[in-house]
Structure formats: structure tokens, C-alpha cells
Structure 1
Amino acid sequence: MKKWMIFSFTEKGSEWNKTLLDWRISLGDSCKGYTVSRYAKKYGLAELPADWKDEIGKGWGETIYMFIGATGIAIRAVAPFVKDKFKDSPVLSIDEKGQFILPLLSGHIGGAVELAKEIGKYISAQPVITTATDVENVFAVDVYAKKKGLCLDDREKAREISAMALDGTLDLKTQVKEVDTFPPMELREKDCIYLAPKNIYVGIGCKKGILGEHLRKMLHKVLDRLDLKEVQICEIGSIDLKAEEPGILELKRELGVPFRTFSAGELSRVETVSQGSDFVKKVTGVDNVCERAAKLLCPNGDMLQPKMAMEGCTFAIVQDSKPAGSKTAAKAQKFEGLKEEEKTTFIKILIFSGTTEGRELVEFLADYPVQVYASVATDYGKECMKPQENLTVLTGRMDEPDICDFLKKVHPDLVIDATHPFARVVTENIKAACAETKMDYLRCMRDGGENKHTEKPKSESFIVGSVQEAADFLAQTKGKILITTGSKELACYQSIPDYKERCYARVLSTEQAVKDSHRLGFEGAHLIAMQGPFSVEMNVATLKLTQAEWFVTKESGKNGGYEEKVRAAQDAGVHLVVVGRPEETGESLEQVKEILKDRFGDVER
């Protein structure tokens, strides 16, 4: 999830500000838009505070800054904070007509060049690129390293390599070397640059008031013992009691990496550590902060350095054995919408949704410091999701191998199955994938997980075990039939004699559902494409319109409109055919919310 701040100063600029703000939020980014007071309310933007330039400094190195207006405003605003091309924030400037977009700072390492191209495509603006390697369309070692999850430790050599690329004398095969660890300088070939995986996670414990300079010095001693470099660090972590510790925050800024904290409860979930301290446990609630934090930062990594005490601070080092850039890396990323930084930021929760319960859980987590992934099968399911800052929506059906691949890639802290109670195959695939990858699985059941009717039908009703059984039963009857069991299993009803005349199908108003229904012979007045929820009155009106004597439904619970269908059958005096819910166990929606509160609600916000 990227963090953005967008600034505008005129009315036209504010229009673009609002457009870009809504777009980035829809992509799952955290974004704030600011403008002068006279346009703030009109365009739904925040009023530009008097100290807005100081706010830039507070987020420098972590936030993308976009200015809509004169380039000079952007340059003067960020100038006091520019220090290091490897740690500076990406800065972009757009003219107020939206004709040109300029990546001003951190074009390669920060990704400003690629962002300019992405934004330019979205608003039909011309990116103005001035970096030599981009203009000449030649190899850029810093861009190459970033894309492959690698890092470099010799900036001067990087400049030499870029110069060779520009004059055509660079041999990529022999002069750009990918290694597992950086070799000592004295053993390196003269005209070669070395790239190693960025795959190190550091857990930290320290005394209150310790200086950032001291922390960094001690960290270097630990890294030196392991032949590691500072540039290989992906993230640092500690207990939430240290969330505002000045020394760690200074270290975070100097390293230019995320700093994640965990509650004592979360740290306690790590089963084993090399050593524990009763004193530390008395103060913090957990016996070993650094080692547990490092393991939570990279759950499937290798512990290179267990807890090491170093003059008022402790460190533990974990290495991701399969980072994006290593020779043993997993398959290329295949899930649209997944962002690289999300793999190592926040607690991660994966919700298999497509239901009211799934959407409620996603919204429930909107204010939690977690990254939520919501998996839905269709574009319609994605449209039903309200955009929120910590949400990434994954669209498309996944079988068991696909789910396994995704779980291995993201390592979610919890997988919640909130799929439809009748999506039995999907649930079995999720369960199997979680068992295979040893992920924590939780089933969210509709109506408290009970499999009994929420309201007992008073009219004549027939309970069957499947849609096929419903169709077989109805084949022995007479009279028109209103079917509300969905488009996926409509083929079952083709076994009913004269089904094209007797049957009326009510399906979702999606293009795919309508196409599938047409293909099976349900068309014209016999196909009703509507989006629920449906009231009792709407159900009764539909029964009367179709002159149905039989009403087929699944026992889908309160959120599936089952009660309204039962009452409509009673009021209309028709026979009700109910496809019973499959037997399974799980937790109710409210119980799942309580579990989420207990597990993640004590994280400092």
C-alpha cells in the first residue's frame, strides 16, 4: 500500500487533485489531497494547513508527493528534505491542465518515472522523462535491481555501470553479477557490479532513550558478523511499547525501511525462542522481544542470528530464503492488484468473500492496522466492495493450487472463509490449501453456523439435499416454477419436461449470469435478471407475475433472504422447495468479529 500526499493551489488543479485522489484510493493506496481553503469543501479535499511544508518533512522517505501547479512550488517545498537518492521520496509535478507530468525526484529507486508513466496513461498526460538511461532506453542498474528484489552496495560503481550502458561498452552477462551475499571489496572484479537479495529482517529491543546513532552502530556489528550489508534490510520490528521510541524511529529513517510493531500477545504467538528474560517479561509482557519480532516480520524465514545483546540493545536477524530476487525465488507474481510493499507491511488477513458476511468483515477491519486481501470470483463481487485504505481486492476464481501459491506468497496471519454456505467446493479448496501451507483457517458461518431453518415454513414445503434433487422432484409435478437457486446450477432443471415453458429463473443481473441462462434455454419472460435483496412483497409480486405454483430456494439464511422467501410462499399460497444447507461447523459473523478484536485489536493504533 503506497502513501500519497497531493497538493493543488487552483480550482483546475483541485479538480485533478480529486480525480487522482479517488483513483489511488480505489487502488488500495493511502492518499490525502490538500488544497487552499476556497476550494477544499467544493472538491472534498483537506484544507492546506499553515505548516504543510513541515508535514512533508514528517513523511519524507515514506510518502509519494505530487504537486499540481508550478514546478517551482514543488522544488521549494521539498528542497530542505532532499538528502539521498536511495532514500528520498518520489516527487512528481503536473501542470493544472493535466497535459504534462514530470518525475522530479527519486525517479528510479523511488519509482517516480514508472509512476509518471502510470499516471500519464490514466489522465492522458505526457510524461516528461529526463533521466539519461530512460531517454536513451538503455539498461539502468538501479531499476533492474529494484524490479528483481535486489540491492547494490557500491553507488560509485553503479554510476560507472550506467555510464558504460550509455556509451555502449557494458556487457550485462559478465559485468552485472547476481550473488547470494556481497563479496569483500578486495575480491571483486574491477569493472563489475554486484547485486544481492534484499531479504533481511531485523527484530530490535532496547532501553528507553537510546540514541539512534548508537543503535545503528551496534546493528552494523551484528551485520558484519554475518557478512551482511545494511542495504539488504527490508524491515525492522519491535514491540508496540517502542512504537514512538525516538532512537528506533531515527534508525528507521536512516535505513529508509518500514518499522512494524507487535503487541505482547502477537509476539507470544511465536512458539520458541533461543532464550528468555523474566525481567523483560515483567516489563513488556513477553520474555524476548527482538527474536519474536524478527520471526513475525518474516514467518517463513531462517533465523541467522538469535537474540544478541549489544550495549543497551538487542538484535535478531531473519533472512527470507526465497525473496523476489533470489535464485530460488518462487513463481512470478500472478495476482493482479498485489503490491510488493504489502508483503512485508502490517498484519495480513485474507478474506474469501463474495457474500454479505465477507463484505461486513472487510468493512469491520477498515480501522485496524492490518492489510486486508479480499478474494472475490467476479468483477461484480469487486464492485460491491467499498474502497478503503487497507484493502486489496483480488478478482478471479482460484482452485486449490492457486490458493496455495497465493498463501505462500503473502503469508497471511489469518485466512477467513466467508464464502456462500453452498459453495462447498470452494470451502474444501480453501481448507486444503490452508492445511497444505499450515495457515490459520477460520470459517465464518451464516446465521451462527446453524443448519436449521431460520423460520419454519407454514405452507406446504419439501426439503431436498441438492439442486439436482429439487429438479428431480419437480419433474414429477405440474405447474409453473420460480427458481431462485442461482445461474450456476440451472442446467439441473433441464431434466424437467417442458422446462422452457414451466420454469422461470431469477438470477443476478450480471452479463455472465444472463449469458449462461440464455445458453441453457432460459430467455424472454422466463428469465428475470435482478439484484437483491428482495422483500417479501417483491417475492410475492414475482410469484404472481409468473403464476408460479412452486418456489425453489436454497436455505441461505438471513443474509441470503431466506426468511423473506418463506413468508412470500405463505402469503402467495405456493409450495416451497428448499435445498437444505450442507452440514458444516464454524463461527458466526459476530463471533468472528470478536476473534478479530481479541487477536488484533490490542495493536497500538
Structure 2
Amino acid sequence: MSGRFAVVAITKHGVEIARRLGDQLPGTDVYYMEKFARGDEQNRRITLFTGSVRLILPDLFARYSGIILIISLGAVVRMIAPLLKDKKTDPAVTVIDDWAEHVISVLSGHLGGANELTRQVARLLGARPVITTASDVQQTIPVDLFGHAFGWEIESFEKATPVSAAVVNEEKILIIQESGETNWWTYDKPIPDHIRVVRSMEEAWKHDFDAALVVTHRILTPEEEKHFLGNGVLYRPKVLVLGLGCNRGTPMKEIEQVVKDTLDELKLSIKSVRNVATIDLKKDEAGLIDLCQKYGWRLDVFTPAELNTVPLSNPSETVYKYTGAYGVSEPAALLSAGARDWLLTKKKSGNVTISIAMVPHGEEKR
């Protein structure tokens, strides 16, 4: 089986529910006991098993991102307890009662996606979703999922639990957002008064708080880290675009070193890099391709005509002679980011030229 979800049944009624979900929920593999076989399981790619479901759970935990069990909640808790490792890696676990009246989120509600899976399954079955995560019930910020839909990466997870407690207990929360998508509040109500949002560290220093959510592409200073992350969580939005040019055959290691050194010099986090941009002549450049594959960055390429639409203060006749563009890294970064200006106009190091632009959010684009 190769689906994303596994649904498991051990009763006659449960088999009906499992087969139904196998048809209606994309990416779902169905498992049930052999004694309920109907003869069409092979054609429907349904897996039959004998003995206790406890025997197949370790394999399901390792292979699926979500497990739907049509088994009593108490039995499920006892069976999965020895398999639990970490909330960041455990799969989502959802339980359905034998009459499909309730769908219960049991494990990995946020990071694992069990809460969303619970809602999705409940909609398909016409059942009632049961979700007990406080931030979901209160319709407030889920600290461990903040910015997840935008691809933000949590850099400091250590304080996630106390910060989450502060949010749901309506303590003073300070959100410091220097970059990234600003439309993260999706509830049909105003942001509550105990949550304050500021757009700069300069403003943040003026406010008292019990817990902080820091969203930035910058490397924090030691003072900022001590003050705001003492009870805070740091998020890295994907907002940096690296415009790169290089001589043909430049090895990935050299390009990577220039990128790392440049980001360090500018106090920028490599975790906030969204993508690389260059001229279409370099779309098959092995060093660039390998770099993007290593870090999971996409590679945007532009034609010389597109690059030449960006005004440059120092257009290069030499670059134009060989590429048909008056610049590569500078215009590529700006076009890909949709920005008005650069964080770094251009820097040449060895065989590599780099420019950096930031994707604008909450402001007029270029």
C-alpha cells in the first residue's frame, strides 16, 4: 500500500465505514480483519489481516502520516502508547465509533494534522468532529502551527508548550513580525486584546509581554534572543530570494559557501530562503541545481529580455556580450521576489555573483 492514510476496522459495522472512507477519502488504504472478507478486496487493494490489530500498528505508524481507527478510544490509547515517540514525528491518529456518529482527534492534532483529518472525515461521514485542542476550541493562534500554511519554519521549539499555554490562558502575547505573510489570522472575529502585533524590534522593546512569537528573516542579536525568546518561539518565513550567477561548471560547494558567507555577513537566516533565481541560460547548471535540491529551494529562471526590464545602476556590457542581459543576479532576484529594492545589490566572490531581495508582504509590490 502507498497511500497517505490508513483506515483500520475490526468489526462488521467498522468494515462498512472503512470501505466507505476508502472510496471517498483520497490517498486512503483500507485494512480489516480477514473474517470479514467479501471477495473483492484484491481488486479494491484492501489489505486483510488476522490476529490482533496491535500487531500491525507499528508498521502503520512507520508508513502513514495519518491513521484512522474504527475502534474504541480506550483500546486505541492502550495500543498506541508504546509506539509514541515525539509530537513532531508521530502520525495523526483519529478514532471513529462503530456507528460513525463521532470522529475523535486523538494524537498529533496540530503538527500531525489529526484535527484537520478529523474534520475532513467527519464531513464525509456526516459525523460530529470531536477536537479538544484548546487553541482550536478557543479559535486562537496554534503556536506549533503558526505560519505552517505559508511554509514558515519553527527554529526554536523548546518553549512551544509554555507559550501555547500563555496564548490559551489569554496572557499578554507579543507577536513581532518583521517579514512574512500577514494574513495569518483566519477566524471570523478580531484578534483578541491580549495579543499585540508589532512590525519591528524597535517597537517590540516598548511593550511588556508574557510570551512572544517572533517572525523574522534576521539572525537575532544576543540581547534580542535573551529578551524575546526567554519565553518565546522563533519562526522563519520564506521571504529571501537569492539571485545567483556563476561561471559554467562552478561546483555546488563553492556556490553554497558564497551563499552561507553572504547570509552570515548580512545576519540573515538561511532557513528564510525561499528560492534561487537566475538567467535561463543557467537552468541546467549542475552546481545551482544541486544546491537547490540540497535545500529544497525552487529555481526561477528568466530570459535576457525579462532581466533587461529591471533598471540597473551599473549595467554590464561584458555580461550583455555573453548572455544578452545587462545583469543576472540583480534583476533575477528582484523579479522573482516581486520587490522594489535589494537587501544586497550585488556581490562577486570567485566564480559566483549573488544578490538578495526580500518578498514583500503587507505592502505594495514592485
Q: TM-score interval w.r.t. the shorter chain?
A: 0.5 to 0.7
Structure 2 unaligned residues grouped into runs of 5+: 174-194, 199-211, 241-255, 275-281, 302-332, 338-357
- Within the candidate set 161, 164, 174, 1:162 is matched to 164
Note if contact 1:145-1:152 (Cα within 8 Å) is conserved in structure 2: no
Match of 1:273 among 283, 286, 297: 286
- Partner residue of 1:281? none
Contact kept in structure 2, 1:100 and 1:128, CA below 8 Å: yes
Query: Does structure 2 retain, via aligned residues, the 8 Å contact 1:63–1:90?
Result: yes
Number of residues of Structure 1 aligned to a counterpart in Structure 2? 240
Matched, 1:176 2:206: no
Name the CA shift for 1:138/1:46 in 2 (closer, same or farther; >3 Å).
same
* C-alpha separation in 1, matches of 2:234 and 2:273: 16
Deviation per CA, 1:465-507: give whole Å up to 9, x if none.
xxxxxxxxxxxxxxxxxxxxxxxxxxxxxxxxxxxxxxxxxxx
- 1:54: how far off? 3.5
Matches of 2:270 and 2:50, distance apart in 1: 36
Structure 2 SS opposite 1:121: helix
1:48–1:167 Cα change, 3 Å: same
Task: Find the residue that maps to 1:15 and give its secondary structure.
Answer: helix
Q: Could you say which residue in structure 2 is the equivalent of 1:38?
A: 35
Match of 1:64 in 2: 66
Cα displacement string for residues 108-162 of structure 1 (whole angstroms, at most 9, x for unaligned residues):
1121112211211221111111112222332222232212321222223322332
Q: Does the aligned pair in 2 maintain the 1:273–1:292 contact within 8 Å?
A: no
Superposed displacement of residue 35, structure 1? 0.2
Q: Where does 1:410-429 land on structure 2 (aligned, <5 Å)?
A: none
Contact 2:110–2:144 under 8 Å retained in 1: yes
**Is residue 17 from structure 1 mapped to residue 15 from structure 2 by the alignment?**
no
Question: CA 1:182–1:42 in 2, change beyond 3 Å: closer, same or farther?
Answer: farther
Indicate yes or no: 2:59 matched with 1:55. yes
Distance in structure 1 (CA, Å) of the matches to 2:66 and 2:239: 23
1:570-595 Cα offsets, whole Å, 9 max, x none, are xxxxxxxxxxxxxxxxxxxxxxxxxx
User: How well do the aligned residues superpose, as a CA RMSD in angstroms?
Assistant: 4.2
Q: Distance in 2 between matches of 1:23 and 1:108?
A: 23
CA contact (8 A) 1:34 1:40 kept: no
Query: 2:306 matched to which residue of 1?
Result: none
Q: How does 1:172-211 map to 2 (within 5 A)?
A: 172-174=196-198, 175-183=212-220, 186-188=223-225, 189-190=227-228, 192-197=232-237
Distance 1:54 1:224, change over 3 A: farther
- Give the alignment's TM-score, normalised by structure 2: 0.54
Q: Distance in 2 between matches of 1:33 and 1:230?
A: 41
Letter in 2 for 1:271: D
SS in 1 for 2:91: coil
Residue 391 of structure 1: aligned partner: none
In 2: Cα distance, 1:296 partner to 1:90 partner: 24
Deviation at 1:182, TM superposition (A): 4.7
Q: Cα distance 1:87–1:14, how it changes in 2: closer, same or farther (>3 A)?
A: same
| Larger Rg computed on CA atoms | 1
Deviation at 1:7, TM superposition (A): 0.6
Secondary structure of the residue aligned to 1:41 is coil
Name the structure 1 match of 2:300. Answer: 300
Does the Cα contact within 8 Å between 1:91 and 1:104 map onto a contact in 2? Answer: yes
Q: What CA deviation, in whole Å up to 9, does each residue of 1:261-289 have, x standing for no partner? A: xxxxxxxx9621349xxxxxxxxxxxxx9
Looking at structure 1, the residues matched to 36 and 20 of structure 2 have their Cα atoms a distance apart, in angstroms, of 14
Separation in 2, partners of 1:158, 1:83: 17
Amino acid at match of 1:158: A
Instruction: Give the 3 Å change call, closer, same or farther, for CA 274–137 of structure 1 in structure 2.
Output: closer
2:217–2:239: 8 Å Cα contact kept in structure 1? no
* Cα distance between partner residues in 1 of 2:272 and 2:93: 24
Alignment partner of 2:197: what SS?
helix
| Shift in alpha-carbon separation, 1:231–1:163, aligned structure 2, 3 A | farther
Q: Cα distance 1:224–1:295, how it changes in 2: closer, same or farther (>3 A)?
A: closer
Partner of residue 135, structure 1:
137
Matches within 5 A, 1:417-496: none
**Contact (CA 8 Å) 1:152, 1:231: kept in 2 or not?**
no
> Shift of residue 199 of structure 1?
8.2
Residue identity over aligned pairs, in percent, reads 23
Secondary structure at the counterpart of residue 25 of structure 2: helix
Instruction: Please state whether the residue corresponding to 1:85 is helix, strand or coil.
Output: coil
Q: How does 1:337-352 map to 2 (within 5 A)?
A: none
The 5 Å alignment of 1:306-385 reads 327-328=359-360
Secondary structure of residue in 1 paired with 2:99: coil
Once residues 230 and 79 of structure 1 are traced to their aligned partners in structure 2, the CA distance between those partners, rounded to angstroms, is: 37
State the 1:297 CA deviation: 6.1
- Give, in whole Å, the separation in 2 of the partners of 1:22 and 1:32: 10
> Which residue does 2:116 correspond to in 1?
114
Matching residue of 1:507: none
TM-score (norm 1): 0.34
Using the TM superposition, give the Cα deviation of residue 12 of structure 1 relative to its aligned residue in structure 2, in angstroms: 0.5
**Cα distance in 1 for residues equivalent to 2:98 and 2:6:** 16
Structure 1 residues without counterparts, runs of 5 or longer: 201-218, 235-268, 276-288, 302-318, 331-605
Q: Identify which of structures 1 and 2 has the higher relative contact order when contacts are C-alpha pairs closer than 8 Å and 6+ apart.
A: 2
Give the 3 Å change call, closer, same or farther, for CA 89–57 of structure 1 in structure 2. closer
Separation (CA, whole Å) in 2 of partners of 1:105 and 1:8: 18
Q: Separation in 1 of the partners of 2:238 and 2:85?
A: 22
Contact kept? 1:92, 1:104, Cα under 8 Å? yes
Seen in structure 2, the aligned counterparts of structure 1 residues 10 and 226 have a Cα distance that, compared at 3 Å, is farther
Give SS of 1:299's match: strand
3-state DSSP of counterpart to 1:83: coil
1:31 Cα deviation (Å)? 2.1
The DSSP-based 3-state class of the residue aligned with 1:109 is coil
